[in-house]
Amino acid sequence: MSFLNPTDVFGEITTVPLDEDVAPLFNIWQMHRMSALLGVCVELNVCGWMKKEYPRGSTAKQLQEHFNFHSENVAEIFFTSLAGVGVFVQTGTEIPKKYKLSRMAELFLVPGSESFFGPFIQLSIPNFCTPGMLLNSLRTPRGEGSNLMMDLIQGNRATQFTMKMHSLAVCPSKTLAEKFDFSDSSCILDVGAGSGVYLMSCLRQNEHLTGMYFDLDPVAKVANTFAEDNQLEDRMTFVTGDFWNEELPSGADTILFVNIIHDWEQEKWDFLLQKAYRALPVGGKVLVVEMMLADSPATSSQASLLMNLAMAQWTDGVQPTPDQLFEVYHRNGFAQAQQMELSGGFSVAWAKKVMPSASSL
C-alpha cells in the first residue's frame, strides 16, 4: 500500500505570517451551511412558531421537542448558529439558555408580516447552488429562450414565482416611493411589473400619480389581486403583453424597469431602452432599479456581487454598473442621467428623454 506524501499535496511547509490567515476562506466555504440552516428555519416556520408560542424566548429543549430534532445539543447549535448572524437573540444568562426573535426576524421571517422574506428563500431551495451546478452553468450556453426566469413565469408556476419575488421587492419599493422625486410625473408605466409592488408603493406615496401595469397575463392576474387588496385598482390600468414582441403602451411620462435588464445580455438593454424612448414624451423619464455593481469588485456591495453570481447560474445576464446604464441611456436619446441608492442593496438610475435618437426612430 502506498501513501501520499504530504509535501506533494500541500507543498513545502512554510511559516505563515501572523497577518495571514486561512479563516476568511474557511468562512466563505462554510457559509453554504448557514444558507441551508436559514432555509430549514423558513421551511419549518420556526420564527412563526416562536412568535406565537414563545414570544419571550424558547429553549433548545422546546425547539427539539416541537420539531423532532434528534437531540437537545443540535437544537442548541441551531439557535447559536442563527443567533450569530442576527436571526435570534439570547435573552439573558439564565440556564437553560433562551432565545427570542431579533428585530430582523420579526420583520422579515414571520409569515404574515408585510415584508416577509421567506418566499424568496423558498424559491431558491430547489435551485440551491452547488459547485457542480455552477460549473455546469458556466460551461453550458443557454441558447435563445432558455432563460430560467422566463421559464418560471409561465403557466401555473407564474403565481408562485411572482409571490416569492414580491418578498424581495417590498422594502426597496417603499424606499423608491419615498426618496425619488415624482412631483413632475403624472403616470408611471411599470414594465415587467410582477406583483406590481413598486408601482403600488409609488401610487400610495404620491397621490397625484396614476399607473400602468405591463406584464404577461398569468403574472398580471396576481397583481390584480394585490391592487384590489390595496384599493388601487381605480388608479391603475392593466395591460398584458410581452415586452420583447410588442411595443410598450403609450401614455406614461415615467417608465420603470425593475430587475429586468439584469436577466439579459447587454445588447438587449439597448433594445428595451429604444422601446422606452418611443413610448415616452420629450422630458419623460426612464428608471432602472437593480442591485448595481460598483466600478470595482472591492467596492461593490456583497448583495450585488452575489446577485451577479446568481445571474451566471440562472440567466445570460449581468448586474449593471451605473456607468454602464448611463452609457445605454446616452446612446438611446436620454440625458441628465443620475443614480441613487435605495435599500436592500438596490439602486435606481434614471435619465430624461431630451433629444431624438436615430436608433430609436
* The amino acid at 203: L
Let me know: does 194 contact 258? Beta carbons within 8 Å.
yes
Let me know: does 274 contact 317? Beta carbons within 8 Å.
no
Q: Which residues of the chain have pLDDT under 70?
A: 1-19, 142-157, 355-361
Domain 144-360 - what CATH class? alpha beta
Q: Which residues pair with 350 in a beta bridge?
A: 287, 338
Cell of 270: 439597448
* The amino acid at 295: D
pLDDT tens column, 57-98: 999 999 999 999 999 999 999 999 999 999 999 998 889 999
Q: N- to C-terminal Cα distance for the chain?
A: 75
Domain 23-113 - what CATH class? mainly alpha
How far apart are alpha carbons 195 and 45 in whole angstroms? 24
| Secondary structure of residue 190 in the 3-state scheme | strand
**Cβ atoms within 10 Å, residue 3:** 5
| Secondary structure of residue 187 in the 3-state scheme | strand
Q: Exposed, middle or buried: residue 109 (CB in 10 Å: 0-12, 13-18, 19+)?
A: buried
How far apart are alpha carbons 313 and 161 in whole angstroms? 17
Could you tell me the residue ranges of all domains in the chain? 23-113, 144-360
pLDDT tens column, 112-163: 998 999 998 988 888 788 899 889 888 887 654 445 555 555 556 677 778 8
Compute CA distances 78 → 33, 41, 53, 82, whole Å: 11, 9, 18, 6
Please spell the DSSP secondary structure of 23-65, one letter per residue: HHHHHHHHHHHHHHHHHHHHHHTHHHHHHHH-TT-B-HHHHHH
Q: Exposed, middle or buried: residue 5 (CB in 10 Å: 0-12, 13-18, 19+)?
A: exposed
